[in-house]
Chains A and B, each alone.
Chain A
Amino acid sequence: MKNNISHSEAAEIFNKDVERVNWHDETLWFVREKRDRSAHQIPEWELLRETASQIKLNVLSNIHDYLVEFEANAQKNGIIVHWAANAEEHNVIVHSILEKHNVKQMVKSKSMLTEECHLNDYLTERGIDVIDSDLGERIVQLRKEPPSHIVLPAIHLKKEDVSETFYEHLGTEKGNIDPQYLTESARHHLRDIFLTRKAALTGVNFAVAETGEFVVCTNEGNADMGAHLADVHIACMGFEKLIPQRKHLGVFLRLLARSATGQPITTFSSHFKKPREGKEIHIVIVDNGRSVQLGREDFRNSLKCIRCGACMNTCPVYRRSGGHSYHNAVAGPIGSILAPNLDMKKNADLPFASTLCGSCTNVCPVKIDIHDQLYKWRQVLVQEGYTPKVKTIAMKTMATVLANPMVFDIAGKTGRFAMKNLSGLVNNKLNKWYDQREMPEVPEESFREWYKKNGKATKRKNDE
């Protein structure tokens, strides 16, 4: 994944095409509004969010017990359980299962965990042909791009882009942008894949400790098509995907789709409990930094995330910068609080890619305090030394001026004088404010100067 430029630089490039940015913004806002309508139809919506948040808090506080319970029950069902401490181990495990069965081709349904672990590249390098079967994922895979959104992987692309991609890779008619035609072509292409692959990999939306089963939610049925036709089904999950009991599924399934796309429920919520005769189901349970995040008191709530993407759709910054600008498998507000845990240096810019407007926190179905965590990450990143030196010097100067009333007064007067009489000092290319905005007009006097002269008089007049 590209990471040679920061979020702000990538966003600046993304913003050069105004029409595309507007389209991206409006499309995601449309989804956000659909989410509002759907959520507001449920009188107990806020209670549902609170319930989900509490259930997840319970899971995080008792994660060890639930994991052990889940493993035992899954094994009882005949599922083979694997544990991976990090991305590398996860990839090795998946590869070894494929090798054991002599599988050279695998079909995958959407799994952000495998994106996080860069599984596709790992397997491809080892001669395994991996095909993503979610339509959006397939489109970005053909373009050799990572997904830009966890629910809508190709939302940054227009139908013209898809048409061009399919023409190049699937041999569709050049210039045909009819969505029906393009979808149909993808469908035929994927159908051949489903029928010929011996191994299928899926993600996991919820794993139930009580029963040892897991649930995968898709709108295209692609996870089912892959898993049902293959001899080996590999399911990969971060350990936070656990929920205690089957009855809790009702809470999460009601929240997930409404938050994600405004649908009452995903089209397919498939339950997998035990392998059919002669087939295998493997589960790979991955840590990859999650236990570290669990140990960070201020950030452990981020592990409640059920990957609905609502925070991205509502985020005014995400909508105008695109998912790729976040240079992390999970983009947007939630990605910005998960990414620094994985690599502080590489992702130090992400918690600053926000205005802290707080909308993400309000839409989050499991009530993660996302914008507060963004604020807290900023403090951590500064303390750990991951901010530019220039910024630190500027902040120290500012702190000195603002802590001292007399210096503040002088600085204010000097600043206003300069802005008024030496405008070239301020209105130039070095001033990022001035690039596309005018500076405020300088008043004759500051408020405190006015108050010194008129404050008492005004008060007297008022008392009379």
Chain B
Amino acid sequence: MKVGLFIPCYVDQFYPKVGIATFELLQKLGCDVDFPMKQTCCGQPMANSGYQHLTKGCDANFITNFADFDYIVCPSGSCVMHVKEHLHSDTNEEEATRLRANVYELTEFITDILKVKSIEGDFPFKVGMHQSCHGQRGLKLSQMSELNAPFFSKPEQLLHNIKGLALVSLTRKDECCGFGGTFCVTEEAISVKMGQDRIKDHEKYQVDYITGGDMSCLMHLEGILRRQNSPIKIIHIAEILNSI
């Protein structure tokens, strides 16, 4: 199984350790992983700002980079959702359609395609899980509090066997953190307030770490935590799953 590693642009630039953890983890799980060097960005920042018509270049570049793979895996629900819903091609729509169907967020790929039920690891800390909206509601990685339906959570299922990890149950299980792409600067006041409130929920349970599947939300929360000189740290779920 040839897996193309899709690393979001800002993760590439600012959080290489998340890319490394994802790469190593997928290898440990037996995948033949490659990182196509000429990938850039999925185009979501433009699309969510109303400029989807400017994403053709990104789309074309994405298709060129990932055409050779059976699966595309990415440690970000948000970028995956954008590709799944909006990747198109004027010249090769067939290939675009195939890629849309074969792009996966990391934890859903591990549980749904690799059929791995749990992962061994060692992370002796109290952890709060921030459910990022695009992964949760967009890709349905876990049940949503608004719906009348049984509980499930792909990322939480994978955290179960990590030694020493104590996952806390938050008061507002799936409240948005307020990152929202360009929202974080165009609606700065609300964005920051939402982030601060999200952090308070984790503080209430005295977590050591906040984890999640989307580095963008975590980057926003990290920015606020550091400004507050908080001892709480952030860590991407790939880093926990790759802890041994």
CA distance A391 to B175 in the complex (A): 28
> What is the 8 Å Cβ interface bit string for chain A, positions 6-27, against chain B (1 contact, 0 not)?
0110011001000001000100
Interface size on A, residues (CB 8 A): 77
**Nearest chain-B residue to A22 (Cβ)?**
B197
> Which residues of A from 18 to 70 have beta carbons under 8 Å from B?
21, 25, 29, 36, 39-40, 42-43, 45-46
Q: Is B35 touching A440 in the complex (CB atoms < 8 A)? A: no
Interface size on B, residues (CB 8 A): 79
Residue among B9, B41, B54 with most chain A CB within 10 A: B54
What are 25 residue pairs bridging A and B, where the CB atoms are less than 8 Å apart in the complex? A7-B187, A12-B188, A12-B189, A39-B148, A316-B194, A320-B193, A352-B186, A355-B181, A355-B183, A359-B133, A363-B146, A378-B48, A382-B49, A383-B53, A402-B40, A405-B39, A405-B61, A412-B9, A415-B13, A433-B185, A437-B192, A438-B223, A440-B15, A455-B23, A462-B27
Selected interface stretch from B91-99, B110-118, B137-145:
B137-145
> Which residues of B from 64 to 114 have beta carbons under 8 Å from A?
none
In-complex Cβ contact of A446 among B13, B41, B47, B133 (8 A)? B13
Chain A interface residues (CB < 8 Å from chain B): 7-8, 11-12, 15, 21, 25, 29, 36, 39-40, 42-43, 45-46, 314, 316-317, 320-321, 352-359, 361-363, 375, 378-379, 381-383, 387, 391-392, 395-396, 398-405, 408, 412, 415-416, 432-433, 435-443, 445-452, 455, 458-459, 462
Q: Is A399 touching B46 in the complex (CB atoms < 8 A)? A: yes
Least distance between A156 CB and chain B CB atoms (Å)? 15
With A316-B194, A375-B48, A403-B58 already in contact, the answer to whether A357 and B176 are too (CB < 8 A) is yes
Contacts of B172 in A (CB 8 A): 29
Contacts of B119 in A (CB 8 A): none
With A15-B190, A438-B227 already in contact, the answer to whether A459 and B27 are too (CB < 8 A) is yes
In-complex Cβ contact of A354 among B12, B55, B147, B183 (8 A)? B183
- B209 proximal to A (CB < 8 A): no
Q: Is B43 touching A355 in the complex (CB atoms < 8 A)? A: no
- B178 proximal to A (CB < 8 A): yes
Least distance between B74 CB and chain A CB atoms (Å)? 12
CA distance A427 to B52 in the complex (A): 29
Q: Is A450 touching B137 in the complex (CB atoms < 8 A)? A: no
> What is the 8 Å Cβ interface bit string for chain B, positions 182-210, against chain A (1 contact, 0 not)?
01111111111111010000000000000
Chain B interface residues (CB < 8 Å from chain A): 7, 9, 11-20, 23-24, 27-28, 33, 35, 37-41, 43, 45-58, 60-61, 133-134, 137-138, 144-149, 172, 174-176, 178-181, 183-195, 197, 219-220, 222-224, 226-227
Q: Is B53 touching A402 in the complex (CB atoms < 8 A)? A: no
CA distance A363 to B148 in the complex (A): 10
Contacts of A359 in B (CB 8 A): 133, 137, 144, 146, 174, 176
Contacts of B190 in A (CB 8 A): 8, 11, 15, 317, 320-321, 353
Q: Is B45 touching A8 in the complex (CB atoms < 8 A)? A: no
Least distance between A106 CB and chain B CB atoms (Å)? 38
